[in-house]
Amino acid sequence: MKRICVFCGSNAGVKPVYLKAARELGSELAGRGIGLVYGGATIGLMGEIARAVIAGGGEVTGVIPRSMATREIAFRALADLRIVSSMHERKAAMADLADGFIALPGGLGTLEEFCEIVTWGQLGIHRKPCGLLNIENYYAKLLAFLDHGVEEGFIKPAHRRLTIVESQIPALLRRFEDFKPAGTSQGLDPVNR
């Protein structure tokens, strides 16, 4: 993996452990020589992970819509800051640039971005790993909802398995390294199973 896209909050959240996780993930990515693709802001978890990757000597690509560059305070010191015209262009660029996707804790934007990228995997638009870093069980209720969707027949079990979940960074990155895309001998065809 050359680059991982991280979706996360433009706020820090109420628990210090969220900022700590952003720092640790950024340091781990830099230490492994994996570049960061993210939303391009200096604030919240977004800014924290970018600063950690830079501090570790890693590469960071920020992608931010023009309309949000002021509101989210674009990280203008990045060597690779891409200011795009819309949220749609932002998500498409991030998807093209990344070899995998991780969601740290975040709000509605994080949830929307992650759900869209998992859906793209379900539809076969990409064959890249998608994972939740479930810090302090932040995503427990979302995971319960996804399981409920399976029980109620709205989510196929194979589609539910597209979301890799770990609470520890090394475990999540190991699963990304071992990831077999759908349709391979060890993967699933996400549309037909």
Write the pLDDT tens digit of every residue in 25-55: 999 999 999 999 999 999 999 999 999 999 9
pLDDT value, residue 72 = 63
Per-residue model confidence (pLDDT) at position 193: 39
First-to-last alpha carbon distance for the chain, in angstroms, is 27
Domain boundaries 3-174, corresponding CATH code: 3.40.50.450
pTM value is 0.92
In the chain, domain spans: 3-174
State both tokens at 67. 């309309």
State whether the Cα torsion 122-187-177-134 is positive or negative: positive
- 29, 51 Cβ separation under 8 angstroms: no
Q: How far apart are CA 190 and CA 181, in angstroms?
A: 9
The alpha carbon of residue 139 and the mean position of all alpha carbons in its chain are separated, in whole angstroms, by 13
pLDDT tens track, the chain, 193 positions: 999 999 999 999 999 999 999 999 999 999 999 999 999 999 999 999 999 999 999 999 999 999 988 776 899 999 999 999 999 999 999 999 999 999 999 999 999 999 999 999 999 999 999 999 999 999 999 999 999 999 999 999 999 999 999 999 999 999 999 998 765 433 444 443 3
Token output for 108: 């509605």
Place of tokens 């993210």: 38
Q: DSSP states of 37-101 as a string?
A: EE--BSSHHHHHHHHHHHHTT--EEEEEEGGGTTTTTB-TT-SEEEEESSHHHHHHHHHHH-S-E
